[in-house]
Chain A
Amino acid sequence: MKVYKSIFKNRDFLKNQISAEDVIYYDFKSGDKSFLAVYVDSITDKNQLGELLIRPILQQQPQNFDETFKKLQIANVTPFENLSDLKDELLSGKSLLFINGETKALSCDFLAFQTRSVAEPPTSTVVKGPREGFNESIKTNLSMVRRRLKVADFSVEFLKIGKYTKTNVAICYVASIVDEKIVKDVKSKLNKIDIDGIPDSSYVAKFIVSKPTSPFRQVGNSEKPDVLVQKLLEGRVAIMVDGSPIVLTVPYMLIEDFQNPEDYFINNYRGNMVRVIRAISVLIAILLPAVFVSAQLFHLQLIPLNFLLTIVNSVKGIPLSPSFEIFFTLLIFEILNEASIRMPKYVGMALSIVGALVLGDTAVKAGIVSTPAIMIMALSGICLYTVPELVDSMSVLRLIFLTVGGSIGGYGIILTCVFLAFYLCDIENFGVPLLAPYTPLKIADLKDGVYLDFINEMKKRPQTLGSKNKTRLSNKKQVKNER
């Protein structure tokens, strides 16, 4: 539908189409000409609108559309002839300018959102290293990445997802590094999303995975620009969603969750130590409660005699069976965990007291649960949080292992491990297996796995990602001198 010559008809059309009362229609005269400015009050910088659009028109009194367009000193001005397009522009926050007697109108960008300031993300804090985190504005997030990635082939492609929300989604990659097949695959999967709205990037993640019902994460994410840049430089593709501080990265490998940005900033030996600790912690978190229960129920010979005596003494008079005892403590732990995340901060102290003293100490004294059970559960709970990204899937796994271990013992745990190994080996996204580089084995990529090599030695980008440009570090002499 074409723009009407009469600004009043245009106003009536927009008023009919958009029922929102925060859309402002401001008509004014400059010389003989009538103008109509239309903007959304809540997301427009009115100072800029007045200073950069209306004041020049009032002062210079342009007589037609072309003159107006030339005389405006604003960067983001686009002419439109179609009224429906202009409506979409208005809804995405742009300001419109209609000129009486003209069949074209201008769309100007005076967007002004209230955004959260750039702060350290709560989920990935570091002692050493950059503390900047993404916020909910896609522009701010892109600016943070751009600041770190000063290359011409850093590509950003925008698309809109959501029938109602029309959320801006940006696909970012370094064109000279990334495998083009991955980019193509990402675009095709994103284009297929047909949903009402995208409130957060996690929605997008659910649509681009190969096994949507899997309890395991298949898309990586980051809240920090420094981490994202490193991932882009390894040959990954980033997906930014407007309104979400979490940027998705694909392809994703399970080992990524064991790689904390700080590992690269601290002493390499310490970095290696913490990675091994994380791996062991995850195993402890998943298997310890199940092994403890199955050892108590079926394999007493596994427990050293002195420890066995301690357990026997502590479980004397406990009304619950070992598996129910651990289930009970697990339930309490999960409740406390859920409550501590959701509750207002000012009641946190009270919860700590209730959790630690009342439920822990008193439950033992009252003879409801035994001390070893509390200890096992606490250890498992703490270990789980050494790799926070895996908490969701690992807590489910812990429950499965506990159920199996409590019902058929150690052999059940073995069978579940076998099943899990096959299941995990089967998952791959964007052509990259979840368990890479361990299976399929890529020896060169093991330098940044549970074992962390010196950064000077990581000369190649991960082979698993199939990067076009494989070399990441080429000046050998310089590196040796620096070392």
Chain B
Amino acid sequence: MKDKNVTLKQICAIFIALLPPIKIIATPSLLAERCAEKLWFPPIILCVLDLILIFLILKASKKHDYKNAFEILCETYSTTFAKVIFFIWGTFFLSKSLIPLLEHKRLIESNFYETLQKAPVFFPFFAVCLYVAAKGVKSIGQVCQILAPVTLVSLILVLYLSISPGDYKTLLPLFNINVKNGAISALNVCLWFNDAIYLIFFTTAFKGKKHLYTKLAVCYCIPFILTIAVYVAFYAIFSSIASTQTHAVSSMSIFSLTLVNIGRFDHLAVFLLSLCSVVAIALPVSCSVKCFCVCFNVKKRIFIALAVVAILLSLTLAFENRYREVIDFYFSYLSPFVFACGYGLPLLLLGKKRGEKNALQKV
């Protein structure tokens, strides 16, 4: 598990570039469906959880002398246990990529290819995904340094075009919050958030860095604030019909008067965000490949990458027209598993080394 080459700047770039794109496709409508005008509340709960998780992972990393997650688990528990955990994480990351992938596919097909046979258009994605997954997380980090400004500019453009037509009174009253509903919704949508988990792959990159938590928290919060702004603008535009707008990012700016004379200029921003989405979806795929490589002790990533992408392709083919059913199934049965994998399992890294445990027991 070699992740020493990823730098802190690259981790920050991953946060900025890849966090927002997959959260602004169908997530706003799903949140609106559950929380109506309080759609911003569950993400804030998840943001707080993510910030805590970032803190805990950094603490665990420091505690174990900046070893990688697999070494920490082996040291703390046992190699078999570490492999089991990595297998669970591999499956978790695979599921983390599937639903955003289905959303991305629907966005591309319904917005950009209304009149075309859709299959040949989307399937080259899997070839690119395979290439990216085979390259590894380090390459994603490098590319994100270029993509970070692209994501920010596109988000700001979408926001600029969609901010004026909204009726912001629909978001009032602001603090009349049903906390229980918010918490359940947060549990349901944690799949799209829970980005702090990626840090388990970068524990070796933190060595000797100062103000780590501040830097990572800031880089996490900047795109998060922009995402929340998109949610707010989205609900202000569509209010009660927001839950029916399954492609938030492309439908938000349609009412902008700027577009009357210059065509669907906003689609360029959507295209750019889709570009970032491709990498954002490839990130969990790549993490999944990494987990399985560690788990099965395979050195050639390409074989595992091929298997993972093949599974993803077959799942996409199986569920391409059943997005709603997949979402309902996920909300009903899978979200607790995802929550546990995303927020619970990383806490295992905080465990004490086996030697220390024995010493304590003796005492």
Residues of A within 8 A of B (CB): 298-299, 301-305, 307-308, 408-412, 414-415, 417-419, 421-422, 425-426, 433, 435, 438-441
Given A440-B9, A441-B145, does the pair A304, B128 have CB atoms closer than 8 Å?
no
A410 to B142 alpha-carbon distance, docked (Å):
24
User: Are B278 and A441 touching (Cβ within 8 A)?
Assistant: no
CB <8 Å contact, A422 and B131: yes
Given contacts A305-B263, A426-B139, contact A298 B145 (CB under 8 A): no
Task: Decide: B263 and A418 in contact? CB cutoff 8 A.
Answer: no
Partner of A421, one of B121, B143, B264: B143
Which residues of chain B (181-200) have a CB below 8 Å from chain A? none
A304–B9 CA distance with the chains assembled, in angstroms = 39
Cβ contact within 8 Å between A439 and B145: yes
A-B complex: 10 closest residue pairs judged by Cβ atoms: A304-B263, A439-B145, A425-B142, A301-B264, A439-B142, A414-B275, A421-B143, A415-B128, A441-B145, A418-B278
Binds A, one of B59-67, B112-120, B167-175: B112-120
By the criterion CB–CB under 8 Å, are A425 and B271 in contact? no
B124 at the interface (CB under 8 A from A): yes
Q: How far is the CB of A301 from chain B (nearest CB, A)?
A: 4
Check if B39 is an interface residue, CB within 8 A of chain A.
no
Q: A residues within 8 A CB of B76?
A: none
Q: Are B135 and A422 in contact (CB under 8 A)?
A: yes
Q: What chain B residues lie within 8 Å of A411 (beta carbons)?
A: 108, 112-113, 121-122, 125, 274
Interface residues on B, range: 35 or more
Is B290 engaged at the interface, CB distance under 8 Å to the other chain? no
Assembled-state Cα–Cα distance A299/B128 (Å)? 22
* Chain B residues positioned under 8 Å from A307 (CB to CB): 263
What A residues does B113 contact at CB under 8 A? 298, 409, 411
List of B residues within 8 angstroms of A301 by Cβ: 263-264, 267
| Contact B143 A412, beta carbon cutoff 8 Å | no
- B359 within 8 Å of A by Cβ? no
Give chain B nearest CB distance to A242 CB in angstroms.
39
The main secondary structure of chain B at its interface with chain A is helix
Given A301-B267, A410-B271, A440-B9 in contact, is the A425-B143 Cβ separation under 8 Å? yes
Among residues of A, the one whose C-beta sits closest to the C-beta of B109 is: A411
Please encode chain B, from 1 to 34, with 1 for each CB lying within 8 Å of some chain A CB and 0 for all others: 0000001011001000000000000000000000
Contact of A414 with B274 at beta-carbon distance under 8 Å, contacts A425-B142, A441-B9 already known: yes
Q: Could you tell me if B263 and A303 are in contact, using CB atoms closer than 8 angstroms?
A: yes
Decide: A418 and B279 in contact? CB cutoff 8 A. yes
Given contacts A298-B112, A414-B271, A438-B146, contact A419 B131 (CB under 8 A): yes
How distant is the Cα of A409 from the Cα of B116 in the complex, in angstroms? 10
With the chains together, A426 CA to B120 CA distance in Å?
A: 28
Is the pair A440, B145 in contact by a Cβ cutoff of 8 Å? yes
Pick the contact of B145: A299, A409, A438 (CB < 8 A): A438
Which residue of A302, A409, A435 is within 8 Å of B263 (Cβ)? A302
Q: CB < 8 Å: which of B10, B262, B279 contacts A304? A: B262
B230 to chain A, nearest CB (A): 20
Q: Which residues of A contact B125 (CB under 8 A)?
A: 411, 415
Q: Quick one: which of B135-191 are within 8 Å of A by CB?
A: 135, 139, 142-143, 145-147
Q: How far is the CA of A410 from the CA of B132 in the complex (A)?
A: 20
Distance between A63 CB and nearest chain B CB, rounded to angstroms: 72
A299-B112, A299-B267, A304-B263 known; A408-B120 Cβ under 8 A: yes
Smallest CB–CB gap between B294 and chain A, Å?
A: 22
Are B135 and A426 touching (Cβ within 8 A)?
yes
Give B121's nearest chain A residue, CB to CB: A408
Tell yes or no: B268 within 8 A of A by CB: yes
- A254 CA to B122 CA in the complex, in Å? 31
A414 with B278: CB separation less than 8 A: yes
**B146 and A421 form a contact (CB under 8 A):** yes
With a CB–CB cut-off of 8 A, which chain B residues contact A408?
Answer: 120-121, 124
A304 to B268 CA separation, bound complex (whole angstroms) = 13
21 contacts between A and B (CB under 8 A): A299-B267, A301-B264, A301-B267, A302-B267, A304-B263, A409-B116, A411-B108, A411-B125, A412-B121, A414-B274, A415-B125, A415-B127, A415-B278, A421-B146, A421-B147, A425-B139, A433-B142, A438-B145, A439-B142, A439-B146, A441-B13
